[in-house]
Chain A
Amino acid sequence: MGSDSKVMVVDDEMIVVERLQEHLEKAGFTVEGFTESQAAMDRLAESSFQVVVTDLKMKGPDGLEILHFAKQAHPATQVIIITGYASMDASREAEYSGVFDFITKPFNLPAIASMVKKAAKKASRLESRSGS
């Protein structure tokens, strides 16, 4: 179970944040939701999260910046990126190094919940290995 794992959800669409937060909390995670990516970055600077689920395209810092920032602040953090319809541009793959996984919108809730569970597991494994 993902109990006690902290998860951050970032998407500028309110509906996505609300529904994800609701579902992940029900699955036992502690969830903080943000519709403004700058506020999410500020929060990442002050606290660590096991998993960050972020939209790719947003006003202000985008999902890529969130990914890099989160990884830098707390290397064990696992980042899941929500993308739109289009498939990922292969030439940019390198930029996404360190990402845990991608999920495309529209997505179904059980799928993302099980992805977050796996990511949380990986994060806690990394945390215990580094002794933090």
Chain B
Amino acid sequence: MQLLHVLRERLGRRQAESFEHLRERLARFRDLVEKNNQVLELIADAGEKLGGEYVYDRHYLETLARDLDLAARVVVDDLNIVTDNRYSELVERMNEIEAALTAVLEGRTFAPDAAPILKLADIGFEHVDVVGEKMARLGEIARRSCCRVPPAFAITVTAFRQLMARHGRSDVDLNALGDDELAELAHKVRAWSLPWGLSRAMRREASRLTSRGGCSWLAVRSSAVGEDGSASFAGQFKTLLGISSRDVPRAYCEIVASLFEPAVAGYWRGRAGVRGPGPMAVGCMCLVKARSSGVLYTVDPSRPEKPLMVVSATWGLGTTVVEGLGAVDRFVVSRTPPHEVVSRTIEEKTERCTVVDGSGHRRFTVSPEDQRRAAIDDAALAELAAVGLRIERFMRGAQDIEWVIDEDGQLFVVQTRPLKLEPVVRHESRRDLRTTVAEQTVLLRGRGEIACRGIAAGEVRIIRERADIENLPSEAVLVARTSSPRLAEAMGEAAAVITDVGTSTGHLAAVARELRLPSIVDVGNATEILTNGQIITVDAEENVVYRGRIEELLHYQLLQSSTFEESLEFRMLRKMLRRIAPLHLRDPRSPDFVAQKCSTYHDVIRFSHEKAVEQLVSGQWVRAGGESGPISRLRLPIPLDLVVVDLGGGLEWRGGGPPEVEEVCGPLRPMLDALVEDGVWATGPADMDLDGLMSSATRASPVSTVGAQPEQNLAIISSNYLHLALRLGYHFNIVDCFLSEVRNDNYLYFRFVGGVTEMARRTRRALLLKKILEHYDFVVEGTGDLVIGRNKKAAPESMHEKLRMVGRLIGFSRQLDVMLREDGLVDQCVERFLAGCTNPWGQEDRADGPDGRIYGQ
């Protein structure tokens, strides 16, 4: 009422001019939403390319970066036009993201801001650019509890930058320096002093390691941020053993200096496509008192087709094994539990390395009885083999692992990296595989889409409800009807995933790729064909599911997986995606929801959309725009004041008074149809108890972005578009929808926040909405009383159904928070909704209501 009044009042004044102004802004808003979706599509698409199903080259990566930048810049432009340049700062954020992507494409390293020191417990794969490959992998296996890893921390590339800056070498270009200059620089670096804060932090963290880790000495090793996975720089940089916590800063400089050694330069200069190492990160680790140590290859490189592992071992520290000096024992161990020893060669080991003081390691003579004795016993070999298999699984490929056994017989892993295998051998094993596979029982073939390539085996677990994700066996194959977020929760420990419904661009597929979990979606009836407890092998390379565990296939996969994932393009895309896909700005009410915090394209578009919607709903546009033909108030059979702005084709107005429901076209129509149905717009009991009443009476300004002006409801519509902003009482609901015959263009976005009662009840309502939306295949996120659900690419008829559901849900949930006195009521209400009930308390209760409580309007 008030809104229309304002509009009409202004009608007489600057009508024409203002209306043009409004139109342009609305057009900009539409454009923003469209480009926003385009960016989301590009992100989903790029994620899909990581799944292994696609062949792409550098050109694709360049095009991706360009298209994303173009579309995201339009979003930012549109937002600034709509809000009178309120967010011009976003342009700078965009420039930063673009610079980061360009750096990746040009083969330079771009490391995000990080603390100069990170504890191992806080490190995972995602930190590879700040802590280097070595430490990132170690952090990941420690995090996943694959094995024991000695206490450690990383000195990140941030520390490296601080050091270089202090000595005026921030812009040093290794490629431009000759051998003499490099040698001179290396010499200088050894004597450099560290920024005081940095060296103090190193010492503090190091002494924490020695006191808590119970070790006397530390190992300090390089963890270079290699540009390029095809060159490992293995053994090119220094490792220092037996360092005291006080000496860590000096050891750090020593290791940084090794980056500039001409010998190292010779290594990367000699290789095509290798652009030299990036900035240096360093790992600092408790030095385990080693009884024996050595190296494990989880596949025998000389005959990778066989299910065998190779272990080399010696007494004391493993330097002799790693450097290839001195005598070592060699064992060939079966990959199959219980990991029998297939062959052993025991050498005469006359010397062992041990750290005796801070001056490094020394060689000692081995006692005569130990010289001819195996440096590792069969039980420890079996334990080592099992650890190797676990690490392999998380790393998705054969590994080269450095291990140590301490004086108490405890096994530690101190390093793991992909094992390089000759590509020729891989090709040969393919032929044998085909005959083996032809003899197997096929359960499913060629159904659905591969979301993430790979091969895995495990026990089937059909996931129907939340309880099913509890007590899963390790390495289960999860089988579910839809790709629900519930399923995503359980995927961390799974071997593979199969769903009946879903797309390879969906949320679940993205999670699967992040975890590198073999996944097939949209299979149709996997939940009917597969049964709980059955052992199957999922070949998400060829899209086949076999009965039983096919070792040959799994082994083949192991040898093969490294090829593609280690390709330069794959790694580049992975790096690029880190500045593209993650969403950090999740909660619009958080103080961090500001332009300054946008660090990915996803952040930028999300922020822009949120702020544009905020502007739109503030009503300023409409007030500024004035009244005209396309703006009108709907005549509805329910007490809902809804102002409609028709951008074209949204109304078939037959004239004669305000338009009615029958004259509405496009996506608003099915929603309204459901909303005005008998009983949906609940005018029944608001089951308000005293607490609820008090709370609603004292809540002065419930939703900050809205202001306390209820009943200003706006719908921007066209023949295929709907942007609905509802302020019902004290909550705030947005529906954004595009509906066309082209399934891929369709989306439905549902956002809900606020309420009249205290937070606990509002949170219950949010939970209820989340459960219902998930049931209808929405991807739902949000915290507290905020719910954001998104559904994309549904077929037109399914969109209609969802819009009707949303209409029903708006009515159903309107006063629900008041009623949700306890947690148990949430599921009860969800069930009522899913059973088709129009209101949460049921027809039979309407006469007098439950418990004779006070009723609202």
> Footprint of B on A, CB under 8 Å?
11, 13, 15-16, 18-22, 25-26, 28, 84-85, 105-110, 112
Given known A-B contacts A15-B568, A25-B430, A107 and B63 have beta carbons under 8 A apart:
no
Given known A-B contacts A15-B567, A15-B568, A106-B49, A25 and B427 have beta carbons under 8 A apart:
yes
In the bound complex, CA of A84 to CA of B59 (Å):
8
CB–CB B57/A22 < 8 A:
no
Which residues in chain B, 37-87, are within 8 Å of chain A measured between CB atoms?
Answer: 49, 53-60, 63
Given known A-B contacts A19-B564, A22-B563, A106 and B430 have beta carbons under 8 A apart:
no
Closest to A17 in B: B55
In the bound complex, CA of A26 to CA of B564 (Å):
15
CB–CB A15/B55 < 8 A:
yes
Give the most central of A18, A22, A28, A106: most B CB within 10 Å. A106
CB–CB A108/B567 < 8 A:
no
CB–CB B569/A15 < 8 A:
yes
CB–CB B54/A106 < 8 A:
yes
* Interfacial chain A residues near B53, Cβ < 8 Å: 108-110
In the bound complex, CA of A16 to CA of B54 (Å):
10
Closest to B543 in A: A110
Given known A-B contacts A25-B427, A25-B430, A28-B434, A108 and B563 have beta carbons under 8 A apart:
no
Interface string of B409-435 (1 = CB under 8 A from A): 000000000000001001100100110
Interface string of B526-565 (1 = CB under 8 A from A): 0000000000000001110000000000000000100110
In the bound complex, CA of A85 to CA of B58 (Å):
12
CB–CB B60/A106 < 8 A:
yes
Interchain nearest-CB distance for A1 vs B (Å): 10
Give the most central of A13, A16, A25, A107: most B CB within 10 Å. A13
**Given contact pairs A19-B55, A21-B427, a sample of 15 additional A-B residue pairs in the complex whose CB atoms are under 8 Å apart:** A15-B57, A18-B564, A19-B564, A22-B426, A22-B560, A25-B427, A26-B430, A26-B434, A26-B541, A26-B542, A28-B434, A106-B49, A108-B53, A109-B55, A112-B55
* Interfacial chain A residues near B427, Cβ < 8 Å: 21-22, 25
* Interfacial chain A residues near B56, Cβ < 8 Å: 15, 105-106
In the bound complex, CA of A15 to CA of B572 (Å):
13
Majority SS at the chain A contact face: helix
Given known A-B contacts A22-B560, A22-B563, A108 and B430 have beta carbons under 8 A apart:
no
Closest to A19 in B: B55
Of the candidates B55, B63, B434, B564, which one forms a contact with A85 in the assembled complex, judged by CB atoms under 8 Å apart?
Answer: B63
* Interfacial chain B residues near A20, Cβ < 8 Å: 55
* Interfacial chain A residues near B568, Cβ < 8 Å: 15
CB–CB B434/A106 < 8 A:
no
CB–CB B560/A106 < 8 A:
no
* Interfacial chain A residues near B54, Cβ < 8 Å: 106-109
Closest to B568 in A: A15
Cross-chain pairs A/B with CB under 8 angstroms, 22 sampled: A15-B57, A16-B57, A18-B423, A18-B564, A19-B55, A19-B567, A20-B55, A22-B560, A26-B430, A26-B433, A26-B541, A26-B542, A105-B55, A106-B56, A106-B57, A107-B55, A108-B53, A108-B54, A109-B53, A109-B54, A110-B543, A112-B55
Interchain nearest-CB distance for A125 vs B (Å): 24
In the bound complex, CA of A109 to CA of B51 (Å):
12
In the bound complex, CA of A19 to CA of B564 (Å):
7
In the bound complex, CA of A78 to CA of B541 (Å):
26
- Which 8 A-B pairs give the minimum distances between C-beta atoms? A106-B56, A13-B57, A106-B54, A106-B60, A19-B55, A15-B567, A108-B53, A15-B569
Interchain nearest-CB distance for A103 vs B (Å): 10
In the bound complex, CA of A18 to CA of B564 (Å):
9
CB–CB A16/B563 < 8 A:
no
CB–CB B60/A105 < 8 A:
yes
* Interfacial chain A residues near B541, Cβ < 8 Å: 26
CB–CB A18/B57 < 8 A:
no
Closest to B63 in A: A85
* Interfacial chain A residues near B423, Cβ < 8 Å: 18
Interchain nearest-CB distance for B546 vs A (Å): 16
* Interfacial chain B residues near A11, Cβ < 8 Å: 57
Give the most central of B55, B58, B567: most A CB within 10 Å. B55
CB–CB B430/A18 < 8 A:
no
* Interfacial chain B residues near A105, Cβ < 8 Å: 55-57, 59-60
* Interfacial chain B residues near A28, Cβ < 8 Å: 434
Which residues in chain B, 111-141, are within 8 Å of chain A measured between CB atoms?
Answer: none
In the bound complex, CA of A60 to CA of B58 (Å):
19
CB–CB B63/A18 < 8 A:
no
Closest to B556 in A: A26
In the bound complex, CA of A11 to CA of B58 (Å):
13
Which residues in chain B, 232-276, are within 8 Å of chain A measured between CB atoms?
Answer: none
Interchain nearest-CB distance for A19 vs B (Å): 5
